[in-house]
Structure 1
């Protein structure tokens, strides 16, 4: 049975405990928790106490969790998503990802997800690749069995499944370095249909994000507003043996988060049953 979750970056206007309560009440099985200044800030005082409190809350609600690391301005208030693993000051990103792993371990997370970032114009491709491989290796050093899900992201230095495969090989194909697959990205950016993308990476799949999207347009849409046929995608996930969370990724819908989350779960449950969507 597919376990649906919802990304907390789609609840940016809610306190984290309130967001967790809403999602549990709606019937979600888990959350994709984006560490951010307002949601379990890894740099604020009293981190250990706050992590323990969130862990207790998740456990009380019966919610599973994966850790997402795509906060826009957590590390730099002036540069979106910066610094990345490719930047000159990439050490701050590496430190953040290592903190995310530690938090994920304390929360009993099923995976920690991250991406490459956009290559700065002054950084040559070869140097960017060297920095990316080295940065991922440093995060792997502290993972200690907690699965890492690297996400191919449209517009970033690694933007396709093929790019993830190259990075996996460059790292020596470690078991702990899996893939985060965003179903919307498959429609936006991959040459193959979304169900085929699922099948292609099934053995390495540790985290799934789900949303609707159109070919060539990196815009996370509510279900039914894009071009994806979801019953075959969910059938491919079920048949692949994937048992992790399938978390709704709608980061620009916080203004109506409870209603959007309710509609999304109804849609996905119907699609999982093979019904019309």
Structure 2
């Protein structure tokens, strides 16, 4: 297995404000410097990077800049992360427009995976039909990814309609999309990350690793929280997954480069 890191830590999750009034333009973005992020990730010893769709889009008009940065750092762009509501029929075409754009950019820069989150929770409460709508949209996303030579995987996420193990089960009985388990989000949703990996062995396309402390709630570098990574890594091996492990830490109080080094040291020991 190869180790990568998400650029999210260099500024956290933000979005393009134009998306408030123009759904087709709503992307995830990290406000920090991608040049610094990729250089720090490489210096920590990782081989790959995952980026948000909005940050990759920043290089669309000058693709040579990102290619040069990847060559300089020796990193592979492993995956691009995007997301959408997916349950509202009126805006779905514009959301799929964004997903297609993300897939085009991912393919342009040699990525393997299109990672997708989403499934909005309605103010009036979730309807059972929302899972059918989400699943149908995710199948369309899978097709878009395949058209661009990519594999698509779904990332269950807090604040969406797929948080708990029961909700994970609902979506994977309805959609053919792959599974990107995120250890901290699955644990925070009440699940056992290792058990969910074992539950869906043929679905695993990509893996996100981060640690978790429940009280007070915070995401942490690997080895600094409550998650049993020995069991998680054992489960990953048992299901035959042998591709990328991506550390994806939303934020860090100190230097993000320090957080990357902490997790790399932990993984090197855990995998040895």
Which residue is 2:45 aligned to?
27
Name structure 1 gaps, 5 residues minimum: 71-82
Query: What are the within-5 Å matches in structure 2 for residues 115-264 of structure 1?
Result: 115-122=117-124, 125-144=127-146, 145-171=149-175, 173=176, 177-191=177-191, 193-214=192-213, 219-253=218-252, 256-264=255-263
Separation in 2 of the partners of 1:186 and 1:31? 22
Name structure 2 gaps, 5 residues minimum: 12-30
For the Cα contact (< 8 Å) 2:209–2:247, is it kept in 1? yes
Deviation of the 1:130 alpha carbon: 4.1
SS in 1 for 2:224: coil
Measured against aligned partners, the alpha-carbon deviations of 1:49-73 in whole angstroms (never above 9, x if no partner) come to 33x4323432453323111126xxx
Measured against aligned partners, the alpha-carbon deviations of 1:3-34 in whole angstroms (never above 9, x if no partner) come to 22111111126421221122112110211211
Separation in 1 of the partners of 2:218 and 2:212? 6
For the Cα contact (< 8 Å) 1:211–1:221, is it kept in 2? yes
- CA RMSD in angstroms comes to 2.7
TM-score between both structures, scaled by the size of structure 2 = 0.79
Q: Number of matched residues?
A: 249
Separation in 2 of the partners of 1:6 and 1:205? 18
Measured against aligned partners, the alpha-carbon deviations of 1:188-241 in whole angstroms (never above 9, x if no partner) come to 2244x3322222223211111111124698632223332112223223323432
For the Cα contact (< 8 Å) 2:121–2:159, is it kept in 1? no
Correspondence for 1:98 among 89, 97, 100: 100
1:57 paired to 2:59: no
SS in 1 for 2:255: helix
